[in-house]
Amino acid sequence: MVRQEPVEGGRGVVGVLGGEDRSQQGGGCPPMAVVVSVVLIALALPAAWMLPARPGRARGVRATSLAGDLVAGVRVIAARPSLARATLTSAVSCIAQGMLTACVPLLGERVLGGAGRGALLLSCVAISALAANAMLARFPRSVAPDTIIWASALVQATALALAAWGQPAVLVVAVLIAGIGEGPRLAALFAVRHREAPDHLRGQIFTTGASLKITGFALGSAVAGPLATWSLPGTLALAASVAVLAALVFFAVPPATTNSSENSTVSA
């Protein structure tokens, strides 16, 4: 049951399934969201434990360190233009994505009437991303993954610009558009990695790419946090500019002279 209780200043605190903040009442009971998260993680452990083990390595092959994997991944990414373009564009796009995430509580408070409602915006992003990927899976050869990567950055920029408008209906449309950009971009990024990465270095490339994306997301969140308290529309406009920059980065990296797989499409 969802209910709203008045508090000082006329604002409301939403309790979901009776999960009000008991810590402020001295009860020490964790919020329901935390309990549900712990239960879901516990349910995932048996599935992870039952995953098949990696085929045994040949004798004499040494286990590499994380730093060594990152270095090997960077070398391969730098040597393959298509992979470099996809990786850099995705990393810069994650900066804009982190900026939007940092703005979500303020968007919920100032546009939707409550900071807690900002979480609904992230749900809209996830739903539209899944729907976009489902549609893409039905037409796997419609658009090349390289095209999706730079086009999704422009879609993301459009969504961020609309979010700065500050109207509830426009904001909902904006986050739905953001999901349409983010979902296919991730699928296209995986397609490019599988296409370009050598089999024996695929793990290192995925590790390096994920590290760059996480770093970009954290950087965007760190920058947008203080800026959003000063000017929320200005921060979203800056995030839109970063997304446009991500698309420009794709074309800044020169393509390979002979790359027969440039027009490969996303596999089903």
40-98 tens-digit pLDDT: 888 878 877 777 765 555 444 455 566 776 677 778 888 888 899 999 999 999 999 99
Backbone angles phi, psi at 164, to 5 degrees: -70, -10
CA distance 262 to 259: 6
pLDDT of residue 257: 61
- Across the chain, what does the average pLDDT equal? 80
Nearest alpha carbon to residue 151 among 177, 126, 125, 128:
177
pLDDT of residue 53: 64
pLDDT tens sequence across 177-219: 999 999 999 999 999 988 888 888 887 888 888 889 999 999 9
Which residues on adjacent β-strands are paired with residue 3? Answer: 15
Structure-block tokens of residue 196: 């370009």
Structure-block tokens of residue 45: 């452990």
For the chain, helix (H) and strand (E) counts, in that order, are 8, 2
CA distance 209 to 248: 19
Radius of gyration for the chain, computed over Cα atoms and rounded to the nearest angstrom: 21
CA distance 262 to 123: 34
Coil, helix or strand at residue 221: helix
**Residue 203 contacts residue 78 (beta carbons within 8 Å):** no
3 DSSP assignment: E
Query: In this structure, which amino acid lies at residue 21?
Result: D
